Amino acid sequence: MSRAAPGLPWRRLAAWGVDWLVISAYAAALVPLGLLVVERSVRLPPLGWNAVSFLLLVLPATVWAAAWERSRRGATPGKRLLRLRVRTLTGGRPGWGPALARNTIKIAVPWEAGHTAAFLLADPGASGAATVIGMASALVACTVAAVHVATLFIGTGRTGYDRATGTEVRSAGSSTG
């Protein structure tokens, strides 16, 4: 089994940090909309707010990353800055299916589990069952994120979402890992 290129896991984490800053700027731009909704006294149950946040934040961020990774350069802004790119195992660009699946596993699953936890656990009127689901969702979110990071440093450095979608992250200009 070959090992990940030296420094590649740290570069991937740094690239994600850059991408997260871009996504956070988008999230901050949604704050005025949220304030308007609160001002209009819109009332939704916790899972209703969760659905709204998914549609306005999680889904667009996931599609945004997928679009960048399936582009000609095969890289989000963070990966471009760190000179990384996403490729199939044969060296080609991932199509929409693999790029979207990759980012759903990487971004949407842990983020949505975290939102579910936050919305359910923040509800003062939550039932015991909602609290249990909220705690389980928090555990899922943290576990998935921890596994994503840990697998960067194990063996070849291919994460579960890389393996599930037949992709890998390479240094730009290199033919392997």
47 or 22, higher pLDDT:
22
Any domain includes 3 = no
94 CB contacts (<8 Å, ≥6 apart)?
69, 70, 74, 86, 87, 88, 102, 165, 166, 167
Nearest Cα neighbor of 57 from 26, 92, 98 is: 26
> Is the model more confident about 144 or about 4?
144
Distance CA(136)–CA(174), nearest Å, equals 41
Please report whether residue 32 resides in a domain: yes
> What is the tens place of the pLDDT at every residue in 63-95?
999 999 999 999 999 999 999 999 999 999 999
Mean pLDDT of 2-6: 73
Estimate the share of the chain in helix, then strand, then coil, as percent rounded to the nearest 5: 65, 5, 30
Residue 124 covered by a domain: yes
Provide the domain limits for residue 113.
8-171
Q: Which residue has the higher pLDDT, 82 or 156?
A: 82
pLDDT in tens, 6-19: 799 999 999 999 99
| pLDDT at position 34 | 80
Residue 1 belongs to some domain of the structure: no
Higher pLDDT, 4 or 27: 27
CA distances from 74 to 94, 163, 168 (A): 8, 17, 11
Q: Is residue 176 situated within a structural domain?
A: no
| Structural domain count, the chain | 1
pTM of the predicted protein model: 0.88
Q: Look at residue 172 and give its three-state secondary structure.
A: coil
